Amino acid sequence: MSTQHRDYEAEQNKLKETIALIDDEIVQLREEINEATDDYVKQVVNYNKAKDLRYLEDHGRDKPYFGRVDFLKDEIYELDQVYIGKRGIVRSDTFDSIVVDWRAPIASLYYSGESKDAFYRMGREIVRGEVRLKRNFAIEDGEIVGIYDGAVKETINREMGHPDEFLQEGFIDEFLNANLNMANDSRLKDIVATIQSEQNEIIRAEKDRPIVVQGVAGSGKTTIALHRLSYLIYNYQDTMMSKKFMVFAPNRMFLTYISEVLPELGVDDVQQSTFVDWAARLVKPLMPKGWRIVSPDKPLQLFFEEGQDQREQEITRNRLRFKGSLACKEAMEQYIRYVIETRIPFKKLSFLYNKTKQVFSIPGETIRQFFLEQFGALPYQRRVDALRKHLKQEMNKQLFSHLRERKVDLDKQGLAKFEKMLEQILDTYLVSFPRLDIFAAYRELIAEEELLCKLAPAAIPDKVIRDVSTSSAALLEQERLEPEDIAPLLYLQHIIEGMNKAEHFDHTVVDEAQDLSALEVAVIGLATKRNSMTIVGDIAQGIHSYRGIHAWEELTQGIFEQLRPAYYTLAQSYRSTIEIMQCANEVLRQIDLPETVLAKPVLRHGEKPVMVHAHSRAELWDDIRSRVAALQQEGFQTIAIVTKTILASKKAHKALAESIADLTLLGSKDNQFPGGVTVMPAYLTKGLQFDAVILLDVASYQNNEWDAKLLYVAMTRPVHRLVMTQMAGEEAPLLANLAQELYTQA
C-alpha cells in the first residue's frame, strides 16, 4: 500500500494535474460569480456556481476523489478510467468530466465489488464489461498518503480459490479498516469512499418500491438510508425534491445527531421528524378542543421501572399492540362497512315529474351496489359525493329518454327547473347517509366493547379486545389520547375523507422502524407518493416491542398490497470492535428471536470490555469518575453513562455531576445531542454511537426479551470502549453465560 505502491508516482502526478485543473476552475468560478446581474436566471445560476465553488474550495481541491475504476467495456473493448469523488467536477470550458460523482451510474462499479461480468445501468440501458482495477486513495492536503487496490485483491482471492468469508474476514478491505480506525467524534459521517457492495445495492435500489432493510446493530442502516436520499436527489431531480423527503427517526435528539451528515450529502433541506410529532400535527384538527396526547414515554416506565402491576402491564400491552396492528386496520374497514350496512337504508330513489306525470326511480339495491362495489375503493365521504353525481346522471338519463319517447322538447327554463328539483331530491335522499365524524367514529369503535368484539378479526381473542376496549374507554373519559391512537385516527381519516395529497412526500426514510407499529408504517405509506420508502431497522433492537413490529413479514406481506417491498438483510457490523460485539452477541443468544442473525463485526480489534464489581455506590461513583477521566485522557470525546431507567439516570447524574465537568443529563424531551460526557437511559441511546459507553447496573436487566433487547442496544453503542458495572455479589442474568475470556474483571 501507500507510497510504496508501483503506481504511486503516476497517481501523484494525476492528482497534481487534477488539482491544477480545479484551481483553474476556482479562478473562473470566482470571476463569474462576481459579475453583478439583475437577471433572475443568472442569479440562480450564480447561486449554484457559488455552491460549486464552496465545495471546491472547502473539500474538492484537497481531496478531489477517493477512488478509481478502470472498466473495459464488452464488445467495443474501450477502457474507461474514472476517478470518483464526493461530488462530480466538470471543466466549465470543455464540459469534460474531471471527477465523477459517487452517485453517477458508472460509479456503482466502484462499489459493486464485481470484477468480471460487471455492469452498470444507464437509465434502461445496461453497460457490461470487466472491472480491471478498483483503487482507493487516502489523500491528505492534496497529497496521496495511501493507495489500496480493491479489485486486484478480489481477483487474487478468487483465483486462489478462497471462499468469500476469507475475503470478508481474513483479507479485510484495508482501506475500510483504515477509515474505521480513524479518530472518531462519533457523529454520523458520510461513507461514500467505503460503501460496501451490499449497502450499495440498497442505496441504488428501485425508486418506486418500498424497501425493508433488516440490519444488525452498526451495519450502517441510518447511514445508507441517508446516502440513498442523496442518490435519489442526484438521479431524479426532475421528479423529486429533497424538500419533500422525510426522515422519520426514533427521537428528537437523534435528528440533531444525523443533521451534520445531511449537508455533506447535499440533502440538508430534507424534513425530519419523529412519527409522533408529524402525525400529532395532522391529528390535532380532528381532536375535540381541550384534549391532550399523553407522553410516548409513559409505557416505558410501566414496562421498565421495577415493581409495576403485572395485570396493568398486560392490559397496556394488549391495548397498544392492538392499536398498532393490521387487525385494528381491518376493524376500522369493517366499521365503515358496518355503518353502511346498518345505518343507511338504501331506499328507492324516486320522484314524480309533474309535467308528464312520469315517475322516475332507481331501486335501492342498485344504489347499494354502486355504493359498495363501484365506488368501494373511495373514502366513505368521497363515495357519497360520487354517488350523488352518479344518481344525478342516472336521473338525467331517465328524463331525457322519457322526453325523447314522448317527443317533448324542454326549454332552458324547464331544464333549470328540473335540475333544481333534482338537487333538492338528492339533498333529501342523501340525508340518510350519515356524515361521519372521524373522532366520534374512532371513539365508538374502540370504546364500545361489543362492537369491537364484533368487528375485529376473529383471530384476536375476545379477552384481548375487552382489555383494549375498557382501558381505551377509561382514557377517553379523561379526554386523553395516547400516541398509539394517532395512526388509527389517521387511517380512519384516510378511509372516511382521504388524506391531503398536498402533504405527500416524494420519499420517506423510516429509521428504527421496528419500534413503529405496522399501522404507523402503513400511514406513512399513505403519505408517500408511489410508496417510495426506505424502511430500516433491527428486530433485535425492538425495545418498544409492546407496540412495535415483531417480524418484518408484518410489513412485507401485510401493508403494501400493490407492490410488495423488496427485503434486504445486513449482517456485517461496522461500529464496534470485535471484542465489544462478541459480548453483545452473547446477550442476544439468551433470547430466541425470529429473523435474528448475530452481528459480524468487521476486523477491528480493541480492548476487551471491562466488568466492574463495586462494593458500594460510593466506590462505584469513584470508579466511574476515574474511568471517565482516563478515557478523556486517551482522547475519547463522547462518553455515555447509560442506565436502565430514567430514574436511575437522574440518580447517577446527581452523584456524578459535581465531579465530572459538563456532565449532561439527557431525557426524551431533549432536542440536542450535546456530545461530551452524558448520562441517559438506555432506550434513548437508540441509533446513537459514542466513543465509549459505561453501562450501569447490568444486573438490573432481567432475563426476558424486552430487557435483553434494551441491554443489547446499549452494549452496541460504543465505537471503542465498553465498561459494564454491577454491585459485588450481584448476578447479571443476561450475562451469566459470558465466557470469562471475553471481558476483563475490575
Question: Which segments are annotated as binding site?
Answer: 215-222
Nearer to ligand ATP, 52 or 198 (CB): 198
Nearer to ligand ATP, 222 or 700 (CB): 222
Residue 210 CA: distances (Å) to CA of 244, 250, 555: 16, 19, 10
Long-range CB pairs of 38-47 (<8 Å, 24+ gap) are none
**In angstroms, what is the minimal distance from the CB of 651 to ligand ATP?**
26
Q: Rounded to 5 degrees, what angle do the CA atoms 184, 190, 196 make?
A: 100
Using an 8 Å Cβ cutoff, are 514 and 482 in contact? no
Nearer to ligand ATP, 53 or 180 (CB): 180
Which cell numbers in the block locate residue 586?
452473547
Which one, of 696, 742, 690, lies nearest residue 720 by Cα? 690
3-class DSSP state for residue 310?
helix
Cα 483 from Cα 479, distance rounded (Å) = 13
DSSP classification of residue 235: H
Nearer to ligand ATP, 191 or 441 (CB): 191
> Which residues fall in the annotated binding site for ATP?
215-222
**In angstroms, what is the minimal distance from the CB of 145 to ligand ATP?**
18
Nearer to ligand ATP, 220 or 681 (CB): 220
Dihedral sign, Cα of residue 442, residue 447, residue 450, residue 456: positive
Nearer to ligand ATP, 50 or 178 (CB): 178
**In angstroms, what is the minimal distance from the CB of 577 to ligand ATP?**
12
Long-range CB pairs of 387-394 (<8 Å, 24+ gap) are 387/430, 387/433, 388/426, 388/430, 391/349, 391/362, 391/367, 391/426, 391/429, 392/422, 392/423, 392/426, 394/362
Which one, of 295, 293, 253, lies nearest residue 272 by Cα? 253
Cell numbers 440501458 correspond to what residue?
A: 125
**In angstroms, what is the minimal distance from the CB of 548 to ligand ATP?**
14
**In angstroms, what is the minimal distance from the CB of 182 to ligand ATP?**
10
Nearer to ligand ATP, 438 or 570 (CB): 570
Cα 131 from Cα 151, distance rounded (Å) = 7
Nearer to ligand ATP, 134 or 317 (CB): 134
**In angstroms, what is the minimal distance from the CB of 136 to ligand ATP?**
11
Which cell numbers in the block locate residue 526?
399513505
Residue with nearest beta carbon to ligand ATP: 220
Nearer to ligand ATP, 191 or 612 (CB): 191
**In angstroms, what is the minimal distance from the CB of 691 to ligand ATP?**
11
Q: Is 745 exposed, middle or buried (0-12, 13-18, 19+ CB in 10 A)?
A: exposed
Residues 6+ apart with CB under 8 A from 418: 353, 399, 410
Nearer to ligand ATP, 217 or 695 (CB): 217
- φ, ψ of residue 427 to 5 degrees: the values are -55, -50
Amino acid identity of residue 519, one-letter, is L
**What HEC string does 246-306 produce?**
EEECCCHHHHHHHHCHHHHCCCCCCEEECHHHHHHHHHHHHCCCCCEECCCCHHHHHHHCC
Cell numbers 430514567 correspond to what residue?
A: 646
For residue 350, what is the enclosing H or E element?
strand 349-353
Q: Is 565 exposed, middle or buried (0-12, 13-18, 19+ CB in 10 A)?
A: buried
Nearer to ligand ATP, 496 or 713 (CB): 713
**In angstroms, what is the minimal distance from the CB of 196 to ligand ATP?**
5
Cell numbers 497534481 correspond to what residue?
A: 16
**In angstroms, what is the minimal distance from the CB of 707 to ligand ATP?**
18
**In angstroms, what is the minimal distance from the CB of 574 to ligand ATP?**
3
Interacting residue ranges for ligand ATP, rule: CB under 6 A: 176, 179-180, 189, 191, 194-196, 199, 215, 217-223, 538, 541, 574-575, 687, 689, 716
**In angstroms, what is the minimal distance from the CB of 468 to ligand ATP?**
31
